[in-house]
Amino acid sequence: MEYSVRIGLLAGGPGFPYGLSHKIPPEGETQMAYSLYDAAVTPCAQQLGALAGIIDKAAAHCAANKIEESALLQDRLYPDMFCLARQIRQSADFAMNTGGRLAGVTPPAMPAVDDTSFAAAKSRVETALGFVKSLTRAQVDGAEGKVIAWTGGGNDRKMKGNDYLQQFALPNFFFFVTTAYNILRHRGVSLGKRDFLGPVNWL
């Protein structure tokens, strides 16, 4: 199935207070076809690739400034937040589960422990990236109404595929990637928005 999304400042109905409408536009207005694969797999692959590059810069920063990698990986923005290693781990897990659950494909098992080196953290991200890239349109498209069931935080959870993607999976994925970036930037690693974005297909 493909989404027909209307782009513009529209009068948002209930649930769309800022003007995004999923109603099919009247005949003659511009539409943009966008598949579930495009929405789920492509951004995760893009951001994991960027995260791998960010990890390389973090490792170089530690080497240049004689900082123990394990110490930086245990750093966090606030005492009740996950440390950097866990933010990276969560990023990899959410990226794999986002497409994997929609496709009905089990991701590769990775150690449920925080990495103590940037080499290990990058390997985790690259494993996740490889899995995400292995998913196909045929596996993911059409899962908009599929019931996605999982256990999280000790609770059994269920959502329809489209809601799972938009309301849970992608927001969580970007939260963890962004927080990992912020920890490193806060600690002086030379990073900028271009590092966060990764390669962009400029015209």
DSSP assigned state of 14? T
Do 21 and 55 share a structural domain? no
Do 128 and 61 share a structural domain? yes
What's the total number of domains in the chain? 2
Tokens for 23, please give them: 């109603």
Do 142 and 110 share a structural domain? yes
CA angle 148/152/154 to nearest 5° reads 130
Do 182 and 82 share a structural domain? yes
Do 181 and 96 share a structural domain? yes
Predicted confidence band of residue 27 (pLDDT cuts 50, 70, 90):
low
Structural domain including 19 reads 1-30
Cα–Cα distance for residue pair 151/154, rounded to 1 Å = 6
Do 17 and 56 share a structural domain? no
Nearest C-alpha neighbor of 196 from the set 188, 180, 186: 180
Do 128 and 50 share a structural domain? yes
Q: Are strands 32-35 and 155-160 parallel, antiparallel or unpaired?
A: unpaired
Cα–Cα distance for residue pair 30/143, rounded to 1 Å = 25
| pLDDT tens digits, 69-99 | 999 999 999 999 999 999 999 999 999 999 9
Inter-CA distances, 168 with 20, 40, 97, 172, Å? 18, 12, 11, 6
